[in-house]
Structure 1
Amino acid sequence: MKLLIADDHPIFRKGLKDLLIDTYPGIEIIECSTGAEAWNKIEEHKPQVSILDINMPEMNGLEVTKKIRLNRINTKVIILTMYKEKEMIRKAMIEGASGFVLKDFAVNELMDCIQKVRENKKYIGPALQTAYNEITFEDKKKQEMLEKLKNLSQGELKTLKLVNNNKTSKEIAELLFLSEKTIENYRSKICQKLGLPPRNNSLVLWINENKELLSALNEF
């Protein structure tokens, strides 16, 4: 097996290297201390597994992972991190990382992680499992809401976009050449379809809490 380790701490790299050599006799290990060096060596050597620290000089682990995905290089990426940050895990998942290990537990977990990713499975270290579960739950809720948005009529979608742009019902009616009553009916139907309570400000409150989700409206 050919494996790459990218980390800017030489003592940490040596510890992982010694562990891997003991576990996998005959393994070929490529070492890097920066993200840019890691990318160059991944592109050149095409290792089966690439272990990337999230924080590295010149290019971080996420940026390297993204380049791997965009260039369709067949290497399984394992992300090492010091932090239990949901957004970091989410971004790494989007870019195609297969394994996530907290650096404090790397010595104990890395062998299991390597085995899993080589079997085309995901590996989430126990210390990161809570953050991963929260991401999964949030993404499921987001997908469910996107499905509800797809059920809106064209008139309702246009109204929702304009409410998102801080337009009043009167202003929306003028822009769409409709009556204000029609716009109020659209707003009421939007609330029903999104499962919002029938309060005057419920749609505005929902919009303020879902700005990121509403960016997807441009795709409809």
Structure 2
Amino acid sequence: MKLLIADDHPIFRSGLKSLLQNAYLEAEIYEYDNGEDAEKAILENPPDFAFLDIDMPNKNGLEVCKTVKEKTNSQVIILTMYNDGEMLKKAFDNGANAYLVKDNTSEELVECIESLKMGDSYIAKSMRKSAKVQQQLKKYSELTEKLKQLTATEMKTLTLVAEKYSSKEISELLFVSAKSVENYRSRICKKLEIDTSKKRLIVWALENKGLIDEMGNQ
């Protein structure tokens, strides 16, 4: 197993590396102290799991997360001091697979990794009881269930909508008629329970691109 840690605090980074080495004796662990170098390393040699702090020099963890999730299959664990629902939402909007805070125990760290191995997402236990986080979890769960209703073709269409492709471009990429694409869009809107207008679907797709990308990669 290959792990990567990106955090600009050397003492914390060293402690996290030690915990991971004790839990996963055979793991290869790489360290970086800024977002730019971490992103470059991940893109060149993707790890199984990348632990990213949010506040880092050169490029923050959320920006790195977005790029990594768009271009690799690495699973991203945001590990930060921010214990609030808004930052949690931003992390998942950018494609994060898990969100931990820096006062989590070593046991929860392992639990998080094992959950991701099973295909689940993970949120720090200490955050799950707050009203804002509960609201975000509920919304995330509802959106996930709706996206699961889409066929593979509909999911591909929605992914392309989120990437700002036009109906004509989508029809060419999927080798179908423009009319078929419009039918896909209509069915997607119905399943997602949103207005059937082109503009509304585009707005929805852009707002939920992180989740769409995550579901599309499963």
TM-score of Structure 1 vs Structure 2, range by shorter chain = 0.5 to 0.7
Give TM-score scaled by structure 2 length.
Answer: 0.62
Question: Match of 1:61?
Answer: 61
3-state secondary structure, aligned to 2:103: helix
Matches within 5 A, 1:22-61: 22-61=22-61
Superposition pairs of residues 1-220 of structure 1, within 5 angstroms: 1-71=1-71, 73-129=72-128, 130=130, 131-137=132-138, 218-219=199-200
Deviation, 1:60, is 0.9
Q: For residue 9 of structure 1, what is the amino acid of its counterpart?
A: H
* Rounded Cα–Cα distance in structure 1 between residues aligned with 2:40 and 2:91: 19
Tell me how large the CA RMSD over aligned residues is: 2.6
**Offset, 1:113:** 0.7
C-alpha distance in structure 1 between counterparts of 2:114 and 2:139, whole Å: 28
Instruction: Find the residue that maps to 1:55 and give its secondary structure.
Output: coil
SS of the aligned residue for 1:65 comes to: helix
Q: Quote the Cα distance in structure 2 between the aligned partners of 1:122 and 1:96.
A: 11
TM-score (norm 1): 0.61
1:67 alignment partner, SS class: helix
The whole-number CA distance in structure 1 between the counterparts of 2:135 and 2:84 is 11
Contact 2:5 2:32 in 1 (8 A): yes
Contact between 1:76 and 1:118, CA under 8 Å: does it hold in 2? Answer: no
Q: Tell me how far apart the structure 2 counterparts of residues 9 and 35 of structure 1 sit (CA, whole Å).
A: 12
Q: Which structure exhibits the higher relative contact order, with contacts defined as CA atoms closer than 8 Å and separated by 6 or more residues? A: 2
Q: Is the 8 A contact 2:98 2:123 kept in 1?
A: yes
CA distance in 2, matches of 1:60, 1:136: 24
> Whole-Å Cα distance in 2 between the matches of residues 101 and 13 of structure 1?
14
- Structure 2 unmatched ranges of 5 or more: 144-196, 202-218
Displacement of 1:28 in angstroms is 0.3
Alpha-carbon spacing, 1:139–1:108, altered in 2? closer, same or farther (3 Å): closer
Identity of aligned residues (%): 41
